[in-house]
Amino acid sequence: MSIQCLSPSGSVSTDISTDPLEPLGICQSVDGGLLVTLRDYVTHSYKLESHSRCLVRHITVTGDVIQEYEYQEDGQTRLFTWPYSVTQNSNSDICVVNLTGNTTGELVIISPSGRMKSVYRGQNLKKNFIPFDVVCDSHCNILVTDSLNNQIHLLNPDRKFLKFLLTDNEKNGPYSLSLYKSTLWVGYDGLVKVFTYSV
């Protein structure tokens, strides 16, 4: 229940407590801070109780809270069931992989103010959409993994489906993504594949 920042030498330079919440996903925000997905570890199901906590927290690199995203604008409707991973697009959209069941999920996209912009639940699929990771490219396109269908979905900056980026024959995955310029790393079960990325 903490976030540790490592120096280039590998020593811990900062230790940010998230207790009593468990951090799952983390990314750098466009303002140089951090966005962290958090969930209380006592809620083990996808049916949340009134006391359950499932949120994205915007913090500084020293751990000061800037903003929390937990409820929609009405202050009562939850944004997330199980926020798993997060990234922020260069257009400031916050993209959150939200697991909704053992074999279901969605991509929730909110504004920096916390307004719900859209929810993506897959397109033209044979099996349930269950995302695990999300990244954005320099053109504000969104890439999201789909482990059950063995695909990567490509969405445009308006959050509309464009195409399946990869249709790999791996039995498991893809699970994780990393994108730097034109290089895309895709993590499968025990394997990382490297691709040249272009739209």
Specify the CATH number for the domain of residue 167.
2.120.10.30
State residue 113's pLDDT score: 94
State residue 154's pLDDT score: 96
State residue 169's pLDDT score: 63
List of the chain residues with pLDDT < 50: none
pLDDT in tens, 65-109: 999 999 999 999 999 999 999 999 999 999 999 999 999 999 999
CA 194 – CA 133 distance, rounded (Å) = 16
CA 100 – CA 96 distance, rounded (Å) = 12
State residue 43's pLDDT score: 73
Q: For the chain, how many structural domains are there in total?
A: 1
Q: Are 115 and 102 in contact (CB under 8 A)?
A: no
State residue 143's pLDDT score: 97
Q: Whole domain around residue 55: which residue ranges?
A: 2-196
State residue 179's pLDDT score: 96
